[in-house]
């Protein structure tokens, strides 16, 4: 069965049985060429020619029935699966594998113009749900602090300072209480760095330090407050 190729209607058709392109102008099949293990064919329009991967043509002529696949801005060869939280490569007809980085975030590499860029899955989820929002200079924060929970309801745009406010207790915190450390004089120091400003005060008792911390952190960090 021959199917019209999008953007080449009336010029070429794709034969789904032979996996070849039929030229309506010359009334013949084009020859598939092999390069690096992949078959491609050259299509011409308005005096300009371009090579197309046969698998790619198969996809655009027979798009898979998956309503969960949505476009990724500026990356035409990829779709994001909103159910699996994975990227589908329409050129090679397969899903890309997510990798887990040292900070516990799932990431995936996308290629454009032979340049590979790595994206956090949480960033892609936010982008496809907010396609017109400019997030230049911002980060995407996980509200519950879990980097594996990439549900859109758990993601929000944040400045670097806001994102750092919503972090858990650092593993080097011996006392086990966020923003508070014990001094060698058995006093307790509260420290908070926010927007390049350092807030610090020392107290005789831990209870006083915690009370002060709770008030100041909530005042300075607002909705991004995380007391550990």
> What does the H/E/C string look like for 123-184?
HHHHHHHCCCCCCCCCEEEECCCCCCCCCHHHEEEECHHHHHHCCCCCCCCCCCCCCEEECC
Question: Domain containing 185 — which CATH number?
Answer: 3.30.730
Q: Is residue 163 in some structural domain?
A: no
Could you report the per-residue pLDDT of 102-122, keeping only the tens digit for each? 989 999 999 999 899 999 999
pTM of the model: 0.65
Q: Does the pLDDT at position 171 exceed 80?
A: no
Q: Is residue 75 part of a domain?
A: yes
So what's the pLDDT on residue 58?
80
Domain boundary among 137, 158, 179: 158
The pLDDT score that the predictor gives to residue 132 is 92
Domain span at 110: 69-158
Tokens of 190: 């509260």
Q: Indicate the length of the chain as a whole number.
A: 228
Residue 64 scores a pLDDT above 70: no
Residue 61 DSSP one-character state: H
In this prediction, residue 149 has a pLDDT band, given cuts at 50, 70 and 90, of very high
Number of domains composing the chain:
3
Q: Could you tell me if 184 and 154 lie in one domain?
A: no
Answer whether 192's CB lies under 8 Å from 199's CB.
Answer: yes
Exposure string over 95-114, b if 16+ CB within 10 A, otherwise e: eeebeeeeeebbbbebeeee
- The mean predicted confidence, pLDDT, of the chain is 89
């Amino acid at each position: 069965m021959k199917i019209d190729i999008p953007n080449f209607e009336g010029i070429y058709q794709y034969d789904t049985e032979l996996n070849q392109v039929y030229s309506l102008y010359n009334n013949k099949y084009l020859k598939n060429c092999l390069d690096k293990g992949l078959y491609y064919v050259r299509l011409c329009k308005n005096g300009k020619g371009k090579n197309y991967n046969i698998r790619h043509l198969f996809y655009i002529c027979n798009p898979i029935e998956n309503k969960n696949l949505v476009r990724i801005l500026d990356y035409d060869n990829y779709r994001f699966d909103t159910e699996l939280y994975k990227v589908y490569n329409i050129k090679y007809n397969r899903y890309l594998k997510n990798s887990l980085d040292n900070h516990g975030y799932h990431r995936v590499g996308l290629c454009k113009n032979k340049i590979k860029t790595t994206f956090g899955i949480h960033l892609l989820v936010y982008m496809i749900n907010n396609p017109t929002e400019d997030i230049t200079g911002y980060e995407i924060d996980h509200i519950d602090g879990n980097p594996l929970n990439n549900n859109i309801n758990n993601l929000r745009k944040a400045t670097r300072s806001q994102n750092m406010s919503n972090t858990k207790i650092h593993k080097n915190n011996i006392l086990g209480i966020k923003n508070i450390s014990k001094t060698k004089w058995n006093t307790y120091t509260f420290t908070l760095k926010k927007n390049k400003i350092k807030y610090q005060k020392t107290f005789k008792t831990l209870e006083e330090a915690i009370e002060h911390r709770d008030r100041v952190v909530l005042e300075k960090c607002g909705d991004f407050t995380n007391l550990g």
